[in-house]
Structure 1
Amino acid sequence: MIPHLSIVVPFHNVESYLTECLKSLAVQTLEDFEVVMVDDGSSDGSRRIAEDFVAKDRRFVLIEQRNLGPGPARNAGIERATGAYLAFADADDVVPPHAYERLVAKLAETGSDLACGAVGRLVDGVLEESILHEKVFRRPQLCTHITDKPVLIRDRTIWNKVYRRDFWERAGLRFSAGIYEDVPVAMRAHVLATRVDMLGDVVYHWRRRESSITQCRNELPNLHERLAAIRSVRAFLDERAPELLDGFDALVLEKDILFLFQALEVSEEPGPLLELARSWVASLGQNALNTAPSLRRLELHLLGRGLVAELRKIREFRRAREDAARIVPRGWRNTGWYGDYPFFRDRRLKIPDAVFDARDELKLHARVESCEWTGTEYQVRGHVSIHRVDRRIGQIDLWLSDGRRKVPLEVRRAGRHGIVTTIDPERLAGGGPSWRLQARTETRGLVLKGWFRDVEAHASWRFTASGVPGWSRSGMDMPQ
């Protein structure tokens, strides 16, 4: 009988982890599947473990090849697979019990080409959020596409997904040899798919282990292969989805380039790394380079000039400022806002002020901390500050808006960042049904606007009509 789902698991010398991976597949709540294990020339006890699973569970099959790498091993597994749906798992990772049932169910419901879900990071047995996938699956959506949901540019892994087999073949997807063979395939799949389902559930546990191939990411050959994968993706996007290039480049500058920096921090002969780094940066679009955060622009500036000692100092500075380095105003007549980093206006280095310019990084933080009914009006207490700016805001204006009308509110300051205001429901008569609270601030020529957030619900704070004159905040009934 043809299985519903085929799961391809390549492995090479992962004896310590393979049993846990295969057990997690054996207990999937979706029972109609096959696991195609591909022994990529293992020399430890991995093959024996795989054979034990074949002997006791007919859903497990084993094929072998000489050591060619994970890409060719996955290709061999796909050729052997017979399921209508296709999935991949790495042999040192773990798949949660309901993962494939939920992914396949969504595809059956929507008819989309692939379904993807959130990822947890297994670190010393503890499950954490995957930094690589952060922000991607916070707002799940069905029947979408990467061009409509650009955050999917951050979803560059192949194993947190289920694909329709006919889509995979129609798109001509195939893995190349090399370490980062999965990134180009994942990006091609997202672009070539007609529709994609995004699930908020964690569907994959990605293990961090120091001995894995990708953990040797600071080594020069590894960095060359990463650059090759980046160039492959950029060439494809340039042809098929150029509107995604800036987002992809920004992600490379946020995540991938860290490995170059880390290598330069410890290298005794940085020459070859600097040459590679310049090629790496040259392959990216100018827009992403110009709009990178100021501290990253400083690192790139030092990198481009080959100032390794200064770059190492900045890397140490960054690690010491885990709560984000400060942004400060400089100048009175024409105030600018700059990152408070080393080497600003250093006479020896003469780094342009524009490298440190951080005005576009400033964001207003406004949150409601309490709302109480006094018998005639609501008294709202809140917090207003500017992210990364350690100073009192000069002027604060507040108002309520229903999208058509604006009702200004009086503001009292309470401490360094606290504010107090009152809201009379009668002033909102005839408007609504929903009102949002907004702030406008001005400090040293810097004007920022932002909506208040609810400190408990982490959502936009608003009044919602629930009768006259009763009101509610974020769904919570207020006294009348």
Structure 2
Amino acid sequence: MNKNPLITVIVPIYNVEAYLEQCIRSVLEQSYGEFELILVDDGSKDKSGQIVDQMAETDSRIVPLHQKNQGVAAARNAGLECSRGVYVAFLDGDDWYHPDFLRMMNAAMEDGACQLASCAFKAVGTEHPPQVKTLSAAIVNRQKAMQLLMGYNSFNGYVWNKLFDLQIIQNHHIRFQSNYPACEDTMFVGNYLYYCNRIHITEDVLHCYRQVRSGANRGRYAAKTAYDPKWMSVFEMTEYMAKLYHDEAVSAACRIHEVREAGIVLRSMEAAGYHGADYVRLKGILHRGAHLFYQDPNSGYSQKLSVFLSCISPKLEWVIWKLRNRK
């Protein structure tokens, strides 16, 4: 096998001028040099577009693209359309790589004859980053990978801590779908895994994930952002994946994921005073799937207590959650 294949790195960029140069340099300074770096400026209103062009003049491996603002899904898809690599990686414009990310991820793909490689990551930028379980190194099949995809761990549904086989993506026309706004990454990875046999998981921390207080997900988990109907796309995604894989273990993982997410979204609904049709739907998901969640060995005690309280009363869970997390 080719030990030094070309790797495409795609960076969707929108208004990240404060962090962009660090992001770009983390790719340019990789210990593995066989790559192309596609920088997709998605109609930034700050100086991000200028930084893209300036950096492109300094290194021939940079491919600058500019488009009207269409969202992260369209930006990543634009990068895929002009990718030339054997493998492809994604990096957000405010994150950065460990210097050995490409080298070690390529080795994981080549040495294990795998179709996907995944690494651990470090969340930075906030006082209380989300706690995820770092998985031990392993090679797993697609069923196990899908179970991990639906959990809170260092595999998860992210695209930025993974290396993909571009031929699989192009042969099956796998693209990011903007109609799943709360889970575009998970949809992409889940569709991709369907065509995989061997997935290499490494416990090495090779990616730095910057979190900001104003981020949509942090607001949702902290019940500080008004309920947004787009969050319901998570539950459309799990239904889709359960039907696609038609596998008992994958379906159970989807149900457990639904319960966990339902409790989180219900908290924001209570904070916003929303009790419409989506609220009723999520209460039904909780009651139907709570027994699976309680039996799940990978869900923590505090999560199970939260789900238990939400089953009794989402408002009660929200009040207790506020008391436990007040500062």
- Local SS of the residue matching 1:162: strand
Question: Partner residue of 2:210?
Answer: 207
Please tell me the residue identity of whatever aligns with 1:153: M
In the TM superposition, what whole-angstrom CA distance separates every residue of 1:61-85 from its partner, at most 9, and x where no partner exists?
1111111100011000000111010
TM-score (norm 2): 0.83
In the TM superposition, what whole-angstrom CA distance separates every residue of 1:16-60 from its partner, at most 9, and x where no partner exists?
111111111111111110110111111110001111110001111
Question: Partner residue of 1:232?
Answer: 237
Deviation at 1:109, TM superposition (A): 1.1
Question: Partner residue of 1:438?
Answer: none
- Name the Cα RMSD after superposition: 2.6
In the TM superposition, what whole-angstrom CA distance separates every residue of 1:265-298 from its partner, at most 9, and x where no partner exists?
3x2x4334xx323223435782445643244222
- Local SS of the residue matching 2:97: coil
Match of 2:81 among 79, 82, 86: 79
Paired with 1:179 and 1:75, the residues of 2 have a C-alpha distance of 17
Residues 1:285 and 1:19: Cα distance change in structure 2 (over 3 Å): farther
Please tell me the residue identity of whatever aligns with 2:105: L
Question: Partner residue of 1:169?
Answer: 170
Residues 1:315 and 1:215: Cα distance change in structure 2 (over 3 Å): closer
Unaligned runs of 5+ residues in structure 2 are 295-303
Paired with 2:12 and 2:204, the residues of 1 have a C-alpha distance of 25
Paired with 2:166 and 2:89, the residues of 1 have a C-alpha distance of 9
Paired with 1:221 and 1:311, the residues of 2 have a C-alpha distance of 16
Does the 8 Å CA contact 1:187/1:233 hold for their aligned counterparts?
no
- Structure having greater relative contact order (Cα 8 Å, sep ≥ 6): 2
Deviation at 1:94, TM superposition (A): 1.1
Total equivalences in the alignment: 303
Paired with 1:231 and 1:22, the residues of 2 have a C-alpha distance of 34
Please tell me the residue identity of whatever aligns with 1:15: E
Is 1:13 aligned with 2:11? no
Paired with 1:135 and 1:311, the residues of 2 have a C-alpha distance of 24
Match of 1:286 among 265, 284, 288: 288
Mapping for residues 120-135 of structure 1, pairs under 5 Å: 120-124=122-126, 131=131, 134-135=132-133
Match of 2:275 among 266, 271, 276: 271
Residues 1:87 and 1:176: Cα distance change in structure 2 (over 3 Å): same
Unaligned runs of 5+ residues in structure 1 are 321-480
- Larger helix proportion of the pair: 2
Paired with 2:93 and 2:54, the residues of 1 have a C-alpha distance of 15
Deviation at 1:3, TM superposition (A): 6.6
Question: Partner residue of 2:148?
Answer: 151
Please tell me the residue identity of whatever aligns with 2:49: R
Mapping for residues 12-411 of structure 1, pairs under 5 Å: 12-124=14-126, 131=131, 134-137=132-135, 139-142=136-139, 144-148=140-144, 150-154=147-151, 155-177=156-178, 178-217=181-220, 219-220=225-226, 222=228, 224-240=229-245, 241-254=247-260, 257-265=263-271, 267=272, 269-272=273-276, 275-283=277-285, 286-289=288-291, 291-292=293-294, 293-303=304-314, 308=315, 310-316=316-322, 318-319=324-325
In the TM superposition, what whole-angstrom CA distance separates every residue of 1:168-227 from its partner, at most 9, and x where no partner exists?
2234311011353112112222343111001110121111113445445354564x2222
Please tell me the residue identity of whatever aligns with 1:225: K
